[in-house]
Amino acid sequence: MIASLADVQRLEQQPYEQAIPQRTTYGLIASAAARHAQRVAFNYLPNGDIAAEPVRVSYAQLLANIHRAANLFRSLGVAPDDAVAILAPNIPETHYALWGAQVAGRACPINYLLQPDHIAALLKAAGVKLLVALGPNDELDVWSTVQKVRALHDIPVLQIAPGRFDQLDAQPDILTFDPALTPGRIAAFFHTGGTTGAPKLAQHTHGNEAHTSWFAHHYYGFDEHTVEVNGFPLFHVAGAFVYGLALLAVGATQVLPTLSGMRNAAFVKNYWKFCERERVTALACVPTILATLVNQPVDADISTVKVAYTGGSPLPGELAAQFEQRLRIPVRNILGMTECAGLVSIEPFAAPRVPGSTGLRLPYTEVRAVAWKDGEVQLDRPCATGETGVVVLRGPHVSPGYTDAARNAGMFEGEWLISGDLGHIDAQGYLHITGRAKDVIIRGSHNIDPGLVEEAFLAHPAVALCAVVGEPDAYAGELPVAFVTLKPGARMDAAALLAEVAPQVYERPAAPKRVTVIDAMPMTAIGKIYKPALRLRAIEVKLTEMLAEAGAAGPGVTVQAVEQGGTLSAVVTLADLSRERDLRGKLAAIAVPVVFRAA
């Protein structure tokens, strides 16, 4: 088990081929199934009722159904260079499709919450030949999206559901063809770049995915006796590899919580009871889930739970400390990217948590911080220990690039992957992420790290979540503003909250100009705070405030901020357009184009 950088370096003394027993995704699963055929791979929870019987799938059944899926795809014309798209939640049948597609050809799991035109564009960009999708279902309606997608891009569809997979049972449970898998063969396309914009598909080789999935357990301390809750979708690298294939590679068990995962309110309400019943040993989270669970009453025996792993967005130190103090469950942090099959660094379970750290680099990889000047990354200028720069990495897990090579610039530079994260590496080899280069708020001559400001708010007893973004300003460039949600039962006026927290912010220019208390944070499908939506909300809040100061607020007056092609603008609807000229001058301080329309 890895507990220090010295352990990583000792592991690296052996040849790479000896350190990793299988270098394809299929090889990892088949090897685990040979060792642990009758152990449970998945415990699927059909709903949030603790009395409902789970569906248990053994490793022998998993491997047989992967074979059936691969055979089915080949019989339907999927060749090694063809892709199978998947629009479905994290259920056993989706795993059969995901790993079977990587045997027959290439997998392309897609976020079913995207708009139909975006999904259709991804299908075209990936050269998808067949679509596997969740059929009509009252709990999770993916099927209506599928129909809209097919109207834009006609494609054959196989329906799946819990316990059902079209045409699967007619296939043999052993492979009927030689897949000729190699570490360098393309295994999958994973889309990235948020939920808006043109398609951006990262290519994964079998070697990329096998690298992260095999070496993770050295840090986790997981084995075949591990039972982990994996509520992440399989279109995200966290669900597929960080908490998915990494568990399958060692014969561990994943608890899959209903069709809607952690969005299922009944499951979350009974979360600790499920942990007791399934004898869960590890939790897979993002910080927002930690924040939910830390306020969830413990109504069960959770003594089997040994660790909570989190990642996907920065882990506030105050939140981690609260979780550990209240629940007596250690928290460990992870940094990952789609472009390197889900993992950059992991905090080892066998070592104490290092506040602010995302852990140690994976074996046989290199991670460094490099200088950043005028928005340009300088690969030839590595930072000194403790010095902040842009984090870059290279190794067997780094993707060969996007399907559209024109998009590689600025992200893939030779062997290096440019993360876009700001951070440093300490004397013990731990990586610390302090923010995103694109999230840094530039107020005059001050570079403001929103993460440090968010930490100050999260330390307040009334605050559950906080996100700080930049509000455009004609004089300062940007001004920091904060959005917060409050803990259940807490009541706090925004102005009073700002007055209490501002003295705790690390420097005066970083103190937010405004705090807005909201009912719920905008989230991505895996529970990360979606800051682009908050940047638009900040513009709307500011313009509404300015209209009120100008005496132009009232019935019929609305404000909508929009982003298109990276450019921000706003539309103001007025009941009386005769005020447009007067208001245009008064709204100039917002520093974004404003279009006026009649109500």
pLDDT over threshold 90, residue 588: no
Pick the closest to residue 66 from 241, 186, 245, 293 (CA basis): 245
Question: Average pLDDT for residues 339-365, to the nearest whole number?
Answer: 96
pLDDT attached to residue 475: 63
pLDDT over threshold 90, residue 451: no
Q: What share of the chain is helix, strand, coil (3-state, %, to 5)?
A: 35, 30, 40
Specify the higher pLDDT residue, 369 or 585.
369
374 pLDDT band (50/70/90 cuts)? low
Distance in angstroms (rounded) separating the CA atoms of residues 557 and 554: 6
pLDDT over threshold 60, residue 197: no
pLDDT attached to residue 276: 98
pTM of the predicted protein model? 0.79
Specify the higher pLDDT residue, 414 or 577.
414
446 pLDDT band (50/70/90 cuts)? low
- Residues 6 or more apart whose CB falls under 8 angstroms from that of 354 comprise 347, 426, 428, 430
In a 13 Å sphere around the CA of 94, the CA atoms on its Cβ side amount to 30
* 522-538 b/e (C-beta count within 10 Å ≥ 16 → b): bebbbbbbbbebbbbbb
Q: Looking at 170-179, 217-226, 314-323, 487-496, which range is the least confident one?
A: 314-323
| φ, ψ of residue 563 in degrees (nearest 5) | -130, 130
Q: Looking at 121-130, 194-203, 243-252, which range is the least confident one?
A: 194-203
pLDDT attached to residue 22: 97
Domains contained in the chain, CATH given: 54-199 (3.40.50.980), 440-529 (3.30.300.30), 540-598 (3.30.300)
Question: Average pLDDT for residues 50-75, to the nearest whole number?
Answer: 98
Distance in angstroms (rounded) separating the CA atoms of residues 158 and 173: 19
